[in-house]
Amino acid sequence: MNIIFAGTPEFAVPSLMRLLGTEHRIIAVYTQPDRPAGRGRKERPSPVKMLAQGHGIPVFQPSSLKSAEEQEALKSLGADLMVVVAYGLILPKPVLDTPRLGCVNVHGSLLPRWRGAAPIQRSIYAGDEETGVTIMFLEPQMDTGPMLLKVATTIKPLETSAGLYDRLSHLGAEALGDCLPGIENGTIKAEKQDESLVTYAKKLEKSEAMIDWQLSAAVLERRVRAFNPWPVAETVYREEILRIWLAQALDEKSEEFPGFVLPNRKTLDVATGDGVLRLLELQQPGGKRVNATDFLNARSLNAVRLGVAA
What does the pLDDT profile of the chain (310 residues) look like in tens digits?
999 999 999 999 999 999 999 999 999 999 999 988 777 778 999 999 999 999 999 999 999 999 999 999 999 999 999 999 999 999 999 999 999 999 999 999 999 999 999 999 999 999 999 999 999 999 999 999 999 999 999 999 999 999 999 999 999 999 999 999 999 999 999 999 999 999 999 999 999 999 999 999 999 999 999 999 999 999 999 889 999 999 999 999 999 999 999 998 899 999 999 999 999 999 999 999 999 999 988 887 777 889 875 5
Confirm whether 308 is domain-assigned: no
The confidence score (pLDDT) of residue 37 equals 79
The confidence score (pLDDT) of residue 264 equals 87
pTM: 0.94
Final residue in a domain of this structure, among 146, 169, 201 = 201
The confidence score (pLDDT) of residue 39 equals 74
User: Dmax over Cα atoms in the chain, in whole Å?
Assistant: 70
Same domain, 186 and 231: no
**What are the start-end ranges of the H helices in the chain?**
13-20, 47-54, 68-75, 93-96, 119-125, 161-185, 217-226, 292-297
Final residue in a domain of this structure, among 201, 227, 257 = 201
Same domain, 75 and 210: no
Same domain, 213 and 192: no
Same domain, 103 and 31: yes
Same domain, 151 and 190: yes
Confirm whether 307 is domain-assigned: no
What's the domain range around 39? 2-201
Residue 258's alpha-carbon distances to 7, 29, 80, 202, 238, in angstroms, are: 43, 51, 58, 28, 16
Same domain, 128 and 164: yes
The confidence score (pLDDT) of residue 309 equals 58
Same domain, 186 and 262: no
Structural domains counted in the chain: 2
Same domain, 16 and 138: yes
Q: What is the CATH number of the domain that holds 177?
A: 3.40.50.170
Same domain, 197 and 225: no
The confidence score (pLDDT) of residue 41 equals 79
Same domain, 223 and 84: no
Task: Output DSSP code: residue 208.
Answer: G
d(CA 5, CA 28): 6
Confirm whether 89 is domain-assigned: yes
Contact 52, 29 (CB under 8 A): yes
Same domain, 196 and 230: no
Final residue in a domain of this structure, among 179, 201, 223 = 201
Same domain, 272 and 163: no
